[in-house]
Amino acid sequence: MTAADTMTDEPTIEILPYENAHHDAVAALVLGIQNGEFDNTITYEQQPDLVNPGEFFEELGGAFWVALHEGQVVGTCGLIDAGSRCAGLRKMFVRADLRGAPHDIALRLLDLAKVYAKSRGFLWIYLDTIDAFQAAHRFYLKHGFEGIERSELPPGFPCLPGASKFFRTMV
């Protein structure tokens, strides 16, 4: 068997901690999905976790990761300390053409966030999202999250403008 026999056409996806050099690509990916793909009206300025992800996630006791394909940012995921041993999942986005199998970028990012949360002693992961992200709702439900009411979020949970759907899972 030669090296060519073992090669596949599958793209290599690398998941790394966020660096400031990723900023513009992260912003373009997230805003492109939010506003281009889903016709949302949230702005860059309304999202402190997008304006300065490194500082935002670090200051809130969390972490932020990027998924790279051929050096390009194709996915993002962050986790913050939401208090009371609860984590908040933020900025979970994957480029449309790389969603689902066989790449499973969102699942890989979510698994990494769960491992991180568990290692930090969190008991729950919460998230907020909008009605339009229906495929994301199905993804979260498929992977152990349950839908909850806004009133069930941890006190002071930092919801984004327009958030209308809320989920949680045990770590």
Whether residue 9 is predicted with pLDDT greater than 90 in this model: the reply is no
Tell me which residue has tokens 């949230």: 42
CA nearest 90: which of 61, 68, 119?
61
Are the beta carbons of 47 and 78 closer than 8 angstroms? no
96: in domain: yes
CATH number for the domain that contains residue 47: 3.40.630.30
CA distance 3 to 6: 5
- Separation in Å, CA 118 to CA 54, 87, 114, 137: 21, 10, 6, 22
Q: Residue 71 contacts by C-beta under 8 Å, 6 or more apart in sequence? A: none
146: in domain: no
Domain that holds residue 92: 3-122
Number of domains in the chain: 1
136: in domain: no
- Share in percent of the chain as helix, strand, coil (round to 5): 40, 30, 35
102: in domain: yes
| pLDDT at position 10 | 62
CA distance 85 to 78: 16
Q: What is the mean pLDDT of residues 71-87?
A: 97
140: in domain: no
Are the beta carbons of 154 and 128 closer than 8 angstroms? no
58: in domain: yes
| pLDDT at position 122 | 98
169: in domain: no
Q: What is the pLDDT of residues 30-68, one digit of tens each?
A: 999 998 888 888 899 999 999 999 999 999 999 999 999
| pLDDT at position 23 | 98
Q: Residue 145 contacts by C-beta under 8 Å, 6 or more apart in sequence? A: 125, 127, 167, 168, 169
| 118-121-124 Cα angle (round to 5) | 70
- pLDDT-derived band of residue 4, with 50, 70 and 90 as boundaries? very low
| pLDDT at position 1 | 40
Q: What is the pTM of this model?
A: 0.91
135: in domain: no
CA distance 119 to 115: 6
- How is residue 81 written in tokens? 């300390």
